[in-house]
Amino acid sequence: MAVVGSSLGGFYATAVAERIGGKAALLNPAIDPARDLAPYVGVQTMFHAPARQFEFRPEYVDELRALGVPVITRPERYFAIVAKGDEVLDWREMCARYPGARIRLIEDSNHALSDFELHLPELISFLQLA
Q: What is the pLDDT of residues 37-81, one digit of tens each?
A: 999 999 999 989 999 999 999 999 999 999 999 999 999 999 999
Strands 102-106 and 78-83: parallel
pLDDT average, residue stretch 24-31: 98
Domains and CATH numbers, the chain: 2-34+71-126 (3.40.50.1820)
List, as one string, the DSSP characters of 76-117: GGEEEEEETT-SSS-HHHHHHHSTTSEEEEESS--TT-TTGG
Strands 78-83 and 42-45: unpaired
pLDDT average, residue stretch 101-119: 96
Count of other CB atoms within 10 angstroms of residue 13: 23
Residue pair 64/34 in contact (Cβ under 8 Å)? The answer is: yes
pLDDT average, residue stretch 82-99: 97
